[in-house]
Chain A
Amino acid sequence: AQSVTQLDSHVSVSEGTPVLLRCNYSSSYSPSLFWYVQHPNKGLQLLLKYTSAATLVKGINGFEAEFKKSETSFHLTKPSAHMSDAAEYFCVVSDYGGYQKVTFGIGTKLQVIP
C-alpha cells in the first residue's frame, strides 16, 4: 500500500523569501514521486519528478525537491517566492505495481504576500 501526507494545508510566505512545502510518503516498492502545481481554474501541471536517477531534482520555475529515503520525504523548495507561485501544490506517489497506481496528497495552498 502507498500513501502521501502533505504536512501543511496552507503555507504563506512573503515575496522574495524561501518556499518549503513538505511531503512524506510510504510505499512498498521504490516509488516514483511527483510534484504538480494547480493554478485557479486550471488543470494540474507537472513541476518535477523523481525516478531514482538523482536525489535532488530540479523542476520548472526554479523549484526543486530532494528525495530522502531515510526520512521518506520529498519536500519542495524554492529559494525566492514570486507572486506567480501562488497556487495549490500536490505531492504524488506512483508505485511499481503492474498498472500505474497513483496516489495524490490533499494539496498545499501557497499564498505569496507582496
Chain B
Amino acid sequence: NAGVTQTPKFQVLKTGQSMTLQCAQDMNHEYMSWYRQDPGMGLRLIHYSVGAGITDQGEVPNGYNVSRSTTEDFPLRLLSAAPSQTSVYFCASSQGLGRGLEASNQPQHFGDGTRLSIL
C-alpha cells in the first residue's frame, strides 16, 4: 500500500527558478489537495481538486499552479520561486467528496512531504 507518494523529499532552489512537486495516490480518491506548513501557522490550503479536470484555489494560491489530468496525479508547479515559498509542502487525498455530510466526514491521507528551500 503506497498511499500518497510525494517526490522529491527535499529540494533547494534559487530565486526565480521553477519546479514541479509531484504527488500520486493509488487509492482511487477523487479529492486531492496541496498544503503548505509553516511554523505557528498549521497547514494552509494552496489548491485542491475534486476530480480529474477540476481544480480550484485554496487559501494561499498565489505563485502556484496545479492541474489534474488523471485521478492519480496532482502536481504542484512553482512558477518563479521566491524565498517566501520556503516551506514544507504536503499533498493529501480523500474519497467520498463533492456533496453532503458524507463528503465532509472523510479523513485525508497525507504524503510525507516535500521540504523546499529557496535561496
- Please tell me if B106 contacts chain A, counting CB pairs below 8 Å: yes
Question: 20 A–B contact pairs at CB < 8 A?
Answer: A9-B40, A32-B101, A36-B110, A41-B113, A43-B4, A43-B92, A43-B110, A43-B111, A43-B112, A44-B43, A44-B110, A46-B107, A46-B108, A97-B104, A98-B99, A99-B31, A99-B98, A100-B31, A100-B94, A106-B41
In the complex, per-residue mask of A82-114: 1 if CB is within 8 Å of any chain B CB, else 0: 000000001000111111111011110000000
Q: Which residues of A contact B94 (CB under 8 A)?
A: 100
Chain A residues whose C-beta falls within 8 Å of the C-beta of B74 in the assembled complex: none
Tell whether A51 is near chain B: CB-to-CB under 8 Å: yes
Chain B residues positioned under 8 Å from A105 (CB to CB): 42
Q: How far is the CB of A5 from chain B (nearest CB, A)?
A: 11
The complex places the Cα of A36 from the Cα of B42 at a distance, in Å, of 12
Q: Which bucket holds chain A's interface residue count? A: 20 to 34
- Type the 1/0 row for B74-111, where 1 means its CB is closer than 8 Å to any CB of A: 00000000000000001010100111110111111111
**A residues whose Cβ falls under 8 Å from a Cβ of B:** 9, 30-32, 34, 36, 41-46, 49, 51, 90, 94-102, 104-107
Determine if B50 is an interface residue (Cβ-Cβ < 8 Å).
Answer: yes
Residues of B within 8 A of A (CB): 4, 31, 33, 35, 40-45, 48, 50, 56, 90, 92, 94, 97-101, 103-113
Residue of A94, A97, A101 touching B105 (CB-CB under 8 A)? A94
A39 to chain B, nearest CB (A): 10
